[in-house]
Copies of this chain bind each other. A is one copy, B any other.
């Protein structure tokens, strides 16, 4: 792989050069070596930031976006989503995942944590798009169909498709998976060292039902059944919206990663009071996600970041909560950390996942503070260049194969309408 040299780019408000070799950032400065064989990127009028980690989504659901807006949750699922999903075959998941990757690249995301079906098809799509995916095997009920054989087969297909792909085990939730299923998944996650992704405490009802059924709250159920111990440091709890103080302590003790999905929580009417400060103070690794585009209709992590920051400030009536430097950590470094990737900062020795943002975008005109421009004024369309694992996946907003993805996505989406 040829080195990449980004010249005269704004980094932390100063103009500098960034050298990338063999997927790593190997030099930053105005006096660094400039290998003659390097691909040169003109960084003038651009600012460099770490790329984003979207830590909870259902990529292929982007084909369903806009179906059944503004309906009550159950009616939306019964009349719009589930009938459409019946027609989602492997081919549709492939094009849905391609479209989602395209949208993620165009808004600066290089890692996403997914949970859906037809993993080999999704894996092929993500591999072709050149970004990182953690693809979760969705499990319901007792999870009997997840055996060592079926897992290894899927793992080989997914991880064989690209070095940037990882498989994970994703029991859907405590209300759709039995205790037996939750534990079975945890044992598999422990045996194979995978991430254990699960929807946790997304709605008040879910917590009340858990109390009624199991006589404890969702994270307490995971502790009681030994799941938290088996998945130590590898559990990603999507949503984690309704938490008791005791649950936050449990999460911290077992190194759980919490993934906030503010747009989805608001749009579906789940809630708005994510306990960011409490989680952070307890030492929980807080990350951010968009959820699938069927529930909140885009994959723009800048929008998700702004929404998270605004909610924290507005609901707590305190404009100092979650300042931009901390927000960048939530949106990038914390997500990469959960995935075991040493990225999320632009520093020598870090893995080269980064973006260049176009300072011509009106969000940065005028420009008193670049990070404030990014998180409080810009949208994903300000992203000009995306580098993932030391490889350019977008430059000048051009992504290979975009036209075909649009055409195919339209065709496959049309077949899904109820």
Residue positions of A touching B, CB distance < 8 A: 63-67, 69-73, 76, 99, 102-103, 106, 204, 263, 265-272, 293, 296-298, 300, 303, 307, 309-311, 313-324, 360, 362-363, 365-369, 371-373, 376-377, 379-381, 406, 409-410, 412-414, 417
Contacts and interface: CB of A to CB of B under 8 A. Distances in A.
Given A69-B372, A323-B69, A377 B298 contact: yes
Given A69-B371, A267-B319, 11 more contacts: A65-B377, A66-B368, A66-B377, A70-B323, A70-B324, A269-B318, A269-B321, A296-B376, A297-B372, A303-B379, A368-B413
A69 B369 contact: yes
Contact of A307 (B298, B310, B316, B317): B310
B368 A67 contact: yes
Contact of A417 (B265, B315, B320, B368): B368
Nearest to A361: B381
> How often does this chain occur in the complex, in copies?
2
A310 B363 contact: no
A85 to B, nearest CB: 14
B376 A379 contact: no
12 contacts: A66-B367, A69-B369, A72-B320, A73-B319, A99-B366, A103-B362, A269-B313, A269-B318, A298-B363, A360-B406, A365-B409, A381-B381
A219 to B, nearest CB: 21
Contacts of A319: 70-73, 76, 267-269
